[in-house]
Amino acid sequence: MSGLYVHVPFCLTRCGYCDFNAYTGLDHLRSRYVRALLREAELAGAAWPEPVETVFVGGGTPTTLAAEDLAALLVALRERYRVPPGAEVTVEANPDTVDVGKLVVLRESGATRLSMGAQSFDPTVLASLERVHGPDAVRRAMAAAREAGFEDVNLDLIYGAEGETLASWQRTLREAIALGPEHVSAYALTVEPGTPLGRAVALGLRRPPDPDLQADMFALACELLGEAGYRHYEVSNWARPGRECRHNLGYWRRRPYLGLGAGAHSFRGERRWWNVRPPEEYLRRVEAGELPIGGEERLGPEQAHLEEVLLRLRILEGVPASWAEPRAVEPLLDAGLLREQGASLVPTERGMLLLNELVLALAG
C-alpha cells in the first residue's frame, strides 16, 4: 500500500507565517497546471505499481481550482493509479473558496474527506495571521460540507499568534468542537525565517510566539478535545475513534508515497526525492515530457533510525524501551517527559513539547 500526494500551489493571498510552496498572482497558470499534473501522473504512474490507499490533494489552496478541474484531477488519478474501493481521498480547502455546488462536485468525483483551514474563530487572531476569511466563513463552509455529504471533515487550527490569549484560544477550541468535525489538527505557530512574519520578528516589528503561553494552549487543547471525545493520536492531531487521517499516518509510519506537483516530495525505502519548486519550472519540465525531479537523498541507517524514533514518538506509539540506554531513560521518566506503556516508552503531554530532545536522548 502507498499514498499519493498532489500539490496545488495557488492561494488567494499569502499568509505572513506561511513557508509552504504557495503563490499568489499565478491564477493564469491554473488550467495549464492541472493539465501538467495529469501528464505527470501518467509519467510517474508507470513506476508506481503499489495500490494507493490514500490520496491527499493539498497546497496551497486546492479549492482555488475550478470544480471541473478538481473533478478531472480526482477522476484521472483513479484511472491512472490502483486506488482500491474504500480509499481515503482528502482535499484541503479554505473556507472562502468552497460552496455547496463545488463540494458536491468533489464528493461525486470521489473525495471522501475535507480538510479545512479554519485556524481560529477570533477575528483579531485571523487578522494577525493575515487570513482572509472570518469565523462565519468557517461555519458556512462546514455547513456546506455537510450538505454536500462529507462525513469526514478536519478543521485545522493554529495557536500562539500575536494578540491571542488563553481565553481566546479556549473560545476557538469550543467553537471548533461545537461544529462537530471528525478530526482536529492544532499546530503551534512557528516563525520561519524568510517569511514576512519571520522578517517582521527579526526587525522587532512583531512579537514572536511566547513558548510558555503556547505550552498552556497545547495543554488546553489536550484537555478540551479529550473531554469532547477526540483521541490524541499524534502530537498535533486529534480524531474521533476510527477517523484518524490515514494519509498522514502513512507518512508517520514510513509507508511509501508519491508526490505530484511543484515541490512535492516522494519516498520509498531509503530514497527520498522531490520535484522542482517553482511552478513555471515544473510546467516547463512536465510539458517537455520529463519527470520534474529536482533532487534526491538516500537515508543512511543512522538517519533512518533517528527518523523512526521521532515518528514513533510523534504518533504516541512510543519506542521499545530496549532501544534506549536505561541511564538515558531514567532522568526523562523522573522529569515526567516520558512514561512507560507496556514495553514501550511514550512521551507525556510535557514530553510532546520537547520531542527533539527526547529523540536525541533515546536514539543517541
Stretch that binds ligand SF4, among 55-63, 70-78, 103-111, 282-290 (CB under 6 A): 55-63
Q: Which residue is nearest to ligand SF4 (CB)?
A: 18
Q: Is 61 a binder of ligand SF4 (CB under 6 A)?
A: yes
Q: Quote the least distance from Cβ 165 to ligand SF4, whole Å.
A: 22
Q: Quote the least distance from Cβ 14 to ligand SF4, whole Å.
A: 5
Edge-first strand order for the sheet with 344-347 is 319-320, 344-347, 338-341
Q: Is 22 a binder of ligand SF4 (CB under 6 A)?
A: yes
The amino acid at 188: A
Between residues 62 and 318, which has the closer beta carbon with respect to ligand SF4?
A: 62
- Residue 77's nearest CA partner among 102, 31, 114, 40 is 40
Between residues 18 and 346, which has the closer beta carbon with respect to ligand SF4?
A: 18
Out of 4, 6, 8, 11, the only residue in the binding site for ligand SF4 (CB under 6 A) is 11
Binding mask 109-128 for ligand SF4 (x = CB under 6 A): --------x-----------
Stretch that binds ligand SF4, among 10-18, 100-108, 188-196, 311-319 (CB under 6 A): 10-18
Cell readout for 199 is 522578517
- CA angle 95–230–183, rounded 5-degree value: 25
173 within 8 A of 157, measured Cβ to Cβ: yes
Q: Quote the least distance from Cβ 116 to ligand SF4, whole Å.
A: 11
| DSSP of 256-269 | -EEEESTT-EEEET
Edge-first strand order for the sheet with 183-188 is 231-234, 237-239, 183-188, 153-159, 113-119, 88-93, 52-59, 2-8, 257-260, 265-268, 271-275, 293-298
Q: Is 15 a binder of ligand SF4 (CB under 6 A)?
A: yes
Cα dihedral 298→308→157→73 (10° resolution): 50
264 within 8 A of 292, measured Cβ to Cβ: no
Between residues 3 and 60, which has the closer beta carbon with respect to ligand SF4?
A: 60
Between residues 42 and 99, which has the closer beta carbon with respect to ligand SF4?
A: 99
Stretch that binds ligand SF4, among 16-24, 33-41, 99-107, 319-327 (CB under 6 A): 16-24
Between residues 117 and 250, which has the closer beta carbon with respect to ligand SF4?
A: 117
Stretch that binds ligand SF4, among 17-25, 36-44, 194-202, 301-309 (CB under 6 A): 17-25
Q: Is 58 a binder of ligand SF4 (CB under 6 A)?
A: no
| Residue written as grid cell 461545537 | 178
What residues are paired with 237 via a beta bridge? 185, 234
Q: Please list, in sequence order, all residues whose beta carbon lies within 8 angstroms of the beta carbon of residue 245, skipping any fewer than 6 positions away.
A: 88, 90, 113, 115, 154, 183, 237, 239
Stretch that binds ligand SF4, among 58-66, 210-218, 243-251, 350-358 (CB under 6 A): 58-66
Q: Quick one: three-class SS letters along 278-338?
A: CHHHHHHHHHCCCCCEEEEEECCHHHHHHHHHHHHHHCCCCEEHHHCCHHHHHHHHHCCCE
Out of 2, 7, 37, 60, the only residue in the binding site for ligand SF4 (CB under 6 A) is 60
Q: Is 316 a binder of ligand SF4 (CB under 6 A)?
A: no
What is the DSSP secondary structure assignment for residue 31, as one 8-state letter? H
Asked whether the bond before 250 is cis by omega within 30 degrees of 0, the reply is no
Between residues 22 and 224, which has the closer beta carbon with respect to ligand SF4?
A: 22
Q: Quote the least distance from Cβ 327 to ligand SF4, whole Å.
A: 43
Q: Is 94 a binder of ligand SF4 (CB under 6 A)?
A: yes
Stretch that binds ligand SF4, among 57-65, 140-148, 315-323, 351-359 (CB under 6 A): 57-65
Out of 14, 139, 232, 339, the only residue in the binding site for ligand SF4 (CB under 6 A) is 14
Q: Among positive and negative, which fits the CA dihedral 219, 224, 229, 234?
A: negative
Residues found near ligand SF4 in the complex (CB under 6 A):
11, 14-15, 18, 20, 22, 59-61, 94, 117
